[in-house]
Amino acid sequence: MTGYLIRRVLSMITLLFLLSITVFFLFNLLPGDPARLTCGKACSPQTIEANRHRLGYDEPVLTQYTKFVTGIFAGRTFSADSPEPIVCEAPCLGYSFTRHQEVTKMIVTALPVTFWLAIGAFLLWLSIGISVGIFAALNRGRWPDRLVMGISLVGYSMPSFFIGLMLVFFVILKLGWLPFPAYISPFENLGQFLQTMILPWIVLATLYAAYYMRLTRNQVLEVLGDDYVRTARAKGLPERVVVVKHALRAGLTPIVTSAGLDLAGLLGGAIISENIFSLPGLGSLAINSVLDSDLPVITGITLVTATFIIFANLVVDLLYAVIDPRVRVG
């Protein structure tokens, strides 16, 4: 187990390293001159060249990359030879000259918003998706099953911007049940936080819950026909124990994988939901950075998101080993 863990962590670090190279060089290959973007239309070639030097874009790509990686671990200083050097402390993911802010700080500010959005939606869709999926499986072929599957199909087919805009229109504008969303930390004002988050949670959870209902239903149906479930019945265990302890334990295991990766993906930002409800999360930050061609921020967000997903993969695999003894050996 320890050997497995060490191997997994090492391969995770290698993967992150390769990823940083890919991301960095890929974005450097993009058309457009980052230095050109630093000042407006009436920009003299001299200013552009001066900015290019200030930002370090005049150096070879490899040197830029080395400095970028060094910045993550040791911090770095931009335009060191100018009268106003910009000190970026580790972990420094770069500096946005468009917004005049450190990328790390921008991400750290946006991350909690996305985190709360993702966690809330995650809990909502898991609890609804799994319980309803089990319910449908246990009533297979009868009307509750058909009803659930119908609802799931509708939920899965509706684009989240549609659900989101409908909710904004009716719940906020027409009926006035909720104030217009204005994000605030739950530690500052829990009431306002909940009022702001409830609709985004519903929008995000609808799509995923619909998917998880189907996933759970199919999983449970599959294991209910498995031989060890028949054995559990043959032992004379009560049906409740047969379903919960024997069928669900095995049937829900693959859902752990899905859930972990979906959550990690969401932590990279839910672009549509964040935009509809004006939540200043990673998704909004990403979209705005793309619109501004703010390369350092895009690079930073891509790396952070990828790290989440790689890390989630590791966690999911370790969890799997805890749940399924067959995975533990080797």
Partner 1 sequence: MQVEAGAERPFLSVSGLSVAFPTEDGLVRAVDGVSLSIEKGKTLAIVGESGSGKSVTAQAIMGLINRKTAKVSGEIWLDGQELVGLSDSEVQALRGSEIAMIFQDPMSSLHPFYRVGDQIVEAIRAHRQVGAKAAKRETLDMLRRVGIPAVERRIDDYPHQLSGGMRQRVMIAMALINSPALLIADEPTTALDVTVQAQILELITSLQAEFGTTVIMITHDLGIVADVADEVAVMYGGRIVEVAPTGLLYDRPEMPYTLGLLSSIPRMDRELPERLEAIRGNPPSPIRLPAGCVFQPRCNYSDRVTSGACLDVRPELLPTTPEHLVRCHLPTEERQQITQDVFNILAGGS
User: Interface residues with partner 1 (CB under 8 A)?
Assistant: 226-228, 230-239, 246, 249-250, 323-326, 329
Q: Are 307 and 265 in contact (CB under 8 A)?
A: no
- From the CB of 131, what's the least distance to partner 1, in Å? 21
- From the CB of 7, what's the least distance to partner 1, in Å? 22
Specify the residue, 128 or 242, whose C-beta has the smaller distance to partner 1. Answer: 242
Specify the residue, 136 or 250, whose C-beta has the smaller distance to partner 1. Answer: 250
Residue 225: how many CA atoms within 13 Å on its side-chain side? 7
User: Both tokens of residue 158?
Assistant: 């509706």
Q: Is the peptide bond before 159 cis (omega within 30 degrees of 0)?
A: no
The β-bridge partners of 94 are none
User: Which is nearest to 304 in space by CA: 100, 119, 101, 103?
Assistant: 103
Task: Look up residue 72 and give its DSSP letter.
Answer: H
Specify the residue, 37 or 221, whose C-beta has the smaller distance to partner 1. Answer: 221
User: Both tokens of residue 227?
Assistant: 């031989």
- From the CB of 144, what's the least distance to partner 1, in Å? 13
DSSP string, 96-153: ETTTTEEHHHHHHHHHHHHHHHHHHHHHHHHHHHHHHHHHHHHTTTSHHHHHHHHHHH
- From the CB of 250, what's the least distance to partner 1, in Å? 6
- Give CA separation, 330 vs 10, 286, 311, in Å: 17, 41, 21
- 269 Rama class: left (phi>0) / alpha (psi -120 to 50) / beta: left
Specify the residue, 250 or 279, whose C-beta has the smaller distance to partner 1. Answer: 250
26 CB-contact burial (10 Å; exposed 0-12 / middle 13-18 / buried 19+): exposed
Specify the residue, 103 or 250, whose C-beta has the smaller distance to partner 1. Answer: 250
- From the CB of 318, what's the least distance to partner 1, in Å? 16
User: CA 330 from chain center: how many Å?
Assistant: 31
- From the CB of 132, what's the least distance to partner 1, in Å? 20
Specify the residue, 83 or 325, whose C-beta has the smaller distance to partner 1. Answer: 325
- From the CB of 219, what's the least distance to partner 1, in Å? 14
Specify the residue, 90 or 322, whose C-beta has the smaller distance to partner 1. Answer: 322
- From the CB of 143, what's the least distance to partner 1, in Å? 14
Beta strand residue intervals within the chain, DSSP E: 76-78, 86-88, 95-96, 101-102
Specify the residue, 3 or 330, whose C-beta has the smaller distance to partner 1. Answer: 330
